[in-house]
Chain A
Amino acid sequence: MRNKKPVKTISTGSLVALGLSISSLYSGINMAEETAFESEEIKKHQHQPESKSMEGMVCGANMRMDMKGMVMYENKDNLPKDCAEISEDVTIEVKAGVKYAKQYPGTVFGFDQHQWQVKPCSRVTVEFTNDDDIRHQWMIHGLPKYLYPEGMFHIEVNGAGKKTGTFIVPSSHFTYLVHCDIAQHVEKGMKAQLKVGNGRGDLPSIPGISAPKFPDLFKK
């Protein structure tokens, strides 16, 4: 039914997978997904935060979690290698919920904005408000892995409420993917982009900004 091409050997699998890991959601390249061919490197980067803390909200240096949600891989102080100093402090307020999908017909979930632009080496504080009664996420991918495990920074708000988290972007001009990775939320509208500097083009299928790579067909 589906003709995926599993990567044949572990070694090339790892290289290809790593090479494509950042680009997969940008370009729609299909990753090998048969369990037998998952690379070790990918596994290492998988979501396994170290934690020995038994009490309270803080579980490991990189994660805060409570009944209202979580902030993962926050970074307020460590500069990316290519930044001499923080260029500016930026706060972006983001709202999420079904009601923000209304202006883009055919979508179901949405953010109130789907694009932000900051200067290279900015320290970005995201104030993320969820207007729904279910979970939503503001998750950014492709950040340097030596600062952000899996290359990501992630805020999750568990039902109506607000969480705030901070991270520092590198110096290069780049367009980062922002989304909610709950099944079908990104597909149905919760996709956005953060441009650092001039960015590097637009990502596909962002409501109000760019066309999908695989659009729906409508009768005329």
Chain B
Amino acid sequence: MRLYRQALSTIFLILLPAISMAEFPSAPATQDSFLGLVEPFCPKTVNPAWRKSHQIENISIAPSPVCDPDNPYDIAAFVKGTNNVSMATMMQTQLSPDTLIKSNDIDGDGDPDEIHIRLEVIELNGFSPDHKDPITTYNIAPGIQPGFWAFAPKSRGMSNESFASTKANPLLRLPSPSIRVEQGDKIIVTLENSHYFPHSIHFHGVDHPFQKENGEGNDGVPQTSNKLTMPGKLVSYELTPRQTGTMVYHCHVQAHTHILMGLIGMFIVEENKANNWVQTFNIGAGFVRHSSVAVKSKYSQEYDLQYQDIDRELHNLIQAGNDSRLLAKSYNREYNITERTPDYFILNGRSFPYTLRESLIVIKPEEKVKLRVFNAGDQMLSLHTHGFKPTATHYDGVELKPEARIQRDVFTLGPAQRVDMELLAHNDGLNNMGEGIWTFHDHNELGVTTDGIYPGGHISSVVFESFLGPNGMPKLQGIDVSPFFTKEFYQKKYPIWNLSDENRLYGEVPQELSQEQQVSSSSKMDATQIAILVLQLVVLLATVILFRNYTKKENA
């Protein structure tokens, strides 16, 4: 036994020099990293005049100081109806004359009570047999164009911005627009199926009868109530909602893919009040520039916040080909939702940093703001707001009794759930911790990334007016944000801390060289190392032979 131990320690001692004798590997020099084309925080194509308050068609439209505000002429048409505005206003929009017909003050309280809404189904970032790249484009972040379907108010003219541009016109975007109606109104929603797949609308949580008066289905569910509405066809749904609240509308055809492709939006029923002209559409959700009478009486501002998550595998199927039969096969029979993993996370149709252009909540001290938060994705959402503890007033559109209201700093919503929250800028250390740029984000950490890169996802911020700079840019005092405005950053080509990294602690290492380096340190050896190893093996062999001879002798 002792001999064995001796032999083993001898072998170990012989092998030891091979480990300690490897040379210090010289690490490759840090490569220079260059940012790609940095997009401006606020693009030149936005119309700064739209930010101020407007009076159009006798409708007051609140100021919206963010970089890229909603078109106030659209809002005037959404409040009055496309049938009640001048041709001059219509020409400032791209709406169809019959997009929104408002008429008939049934209860005589000064506002129209018969509302006919027309929606189309549009495709963004779809395939073109003529172009290498997607067409009718819509970027959720620099260089990121997943395919989408969305409901859109019926428009007129081109879907592309112009003949020279493949960009989608501004009405065509994500999310499907928030729709607002007044409690007790007679609502007709007509779906004009302008898309190449069948679709429907289901009014989720909105008071609606299963059948229309004529007996036709009204629930939008192919299995139980309605035939498929095929391309080129239309279907009308009728409802007179008795209950108020933040509800939902979505397509119910192949719901497991159609909802996630973007055919889902908020449907909000406002309290019936006198002279209550509600803003029927809120394009891209977000700030409501003309709130209802009831909301205005309780809150200084109102925002719709719709959260979605995107599995690239699903959304890119429309970019893979053109044949309707192959597309139907890939969506209905090949895509397997049980293998779903989300890659992108959007708030009101955009990921960070584009959220900063549209989805800032701009606030003054002592303001009380209403947030309608909707999880339209497939992941849990754990929404956390820095600097505030908001109070939940409604869940899934149903008002909480005062004693049941909850004040906290993380609100968790499962898919399709809504919470109405009150954000109170009262600096008492509970409701608010003072002025600043207070970020709000999902604390399910997937939600703050874009294809695994941080910061991305649906991060946005509550910004106090004192912290808002020109062009709606917050007066940021952290790191330089330019990298986030490049495609390269989200293509993982730029070291995350590079601009703060004076000592080049975390810079780029040449990719091929670093692989070589890895190989040489693990398996490749130089001549002396090999010589030593051979020598060691010889010695080892000799020891074993000697040892065997010795034991044989002993046995003999």
Contact = CB atoms under 8 A, between A and B. Distances in A.
B163 A152 contact: yes
A175 interface: no
Interface residues of A, number: 74
A45 to B, nearest CB: 7
Interface string A189-220: 00000000000000011000000111111100
A86 B538 CA distance: 102
A54 interface: yes
Contacts of B163: 21, 24-25, 141, 150-152
A70 interface: yes
Nearest to B94: A47
A84 interface: no
Given A25-B163, A134-B232, A158 B98 contact: yes
Interface in B39-66: 39-40, 43-46
B87 A217 contact: no
Contacts of B162: 42, 45-47, 150
A51 B91 contact: yes
A156 interface: yes
* Among A33, A51, A159, A217, residue most surrounded by chain B Cβ atoms (within 10 Å): A33
A17 B164 contact: yes
A36 B43 contact: yes
Given A33-B167, A183-B123, A214 B158 contact: no
Interface string A86-123: 00000000000110000001111100000000000000
Contacts of A67: 97-98
A49 B86 CA distance: 15
Given A98-B230, A109-B231, A2 B87 contact: no
A187 B44 contact: no
A218 to B, nearest CB: 8
A25 B130 contact: yes
Contacts of B91: 48-49, 51, 59-60
Given A97-B232, A109-B196, A181-B159, A30 B131 contact: yes
Contact of A205 (B96, B120, B130, B164): B130
A100 B47 CA distance: 41
A28 interface: yes
A77 interface: no
Given A182-B159, A183-B159, A205-B129, A66 B97 contact: yes
B333 to A, nearest CB: 14
B93 to A, nearest CB: 11
A217 B157 contact: no
A161 interface: no
B400 interface: no
Given A54-B86, A109-B196, A38 B165 contact: yes
Given A66-B97, A184-B123, A184-B196, A28 B88 contact: no
B322 A106 contact: yes
Given A30-B131, A156-B157, A216 B87 contact: no
B54 to A, nearest CB: 18
* Among B37, B88, B192, B322, residue most surrounded by chain A Cβ atoms (within 10 Å): B322
A181 B160 contact: yes
B148 to A, nearest CB: 10
A2 B134 contact: yes
B145 A1 contact: yes
Nearest to A46: B162
A120 B123 CA distance: 37
* Among B46, B98, B128, B232, residue most surrounded by chain A Cβ atoms (within 10 Å): B232
Contact of A134 (B156, B167, B194, B322): B194
Contacts of B154: 135
Contacts of B157: 47, 72, 154, 156, 181
Contacts of B324: 106-108, 188
B133 A106 contact: no
A133 interface: yes
Contacts of B326: 106, 216, 218
B276 interface: no
Interface in B465-496: 491
A216 B143 contact: no
A134 B193 contact: yes
Interface in A132-174: 132-135, 139, 141, 150-152, 154, 156, 158-159
A183 B96 contact: no
B310 to A, nearest CB: 12
A150 to B, nearest CB: 6
A80 interface: no
Contacts of A134: 120, 192-194, 232-234
Contacts of A216: 321-323, 326
Nearest to A52: B88
B5 interface: no
B168 to A, nearest CB: 7
B161 interface: yes
Nearest to A2: B133
Contact of B194 (A55, A135, A151): A135
A95 B313 CA distance: 37
A156 B145 contact: no
Nearest to A204: B130
B88 to A, nearest CB: 6
B124 A133 contact: no
Given A97-B232, A132-B232, A154-B157, A212 B322 contact: yes
A49 B94 CA distance: 11
* Among B88, B157, B168, B230, residue most surrounded by chain A Cβ atoms (within 10 Å): B157
A26 B324 CA distance: 23
* Among A38, A98, A134, A214, residue most surrounded by chain B Cβ atoms (within 10 Å): A134
A83 interface: no
Nearest to B154: A135
Contacts of B167: 33, 35
A183 B130 contact: no
A191 B230 CA distance: 21
24 contacts: A2-B134, A17-B164, A25-B163, A28-B130, A31-B165, A35-B39, A38-B165, A51-B88, A54-B86, A54-B88, A59-B91, A60-B91, A65-B97, A67-B98, A106-B324, A106-B326, A108-B231, A134-B232, A150-B163, A154-B157, A183-B123, A183-B172, A214-B131, A216-B322
Given A2-B145, A187-B322, 6 more contacts: A4-B133, A45-B162, A108-B196, A132-B233, A181-B157, A213-B129
Nearest 10 pairs between A and B by C-beta? A212-B129, A132-B232, A106-B323, A21-B164, A98-B232, A35-B43, A183-B159, A108-B196, A181-B158, A205-B129
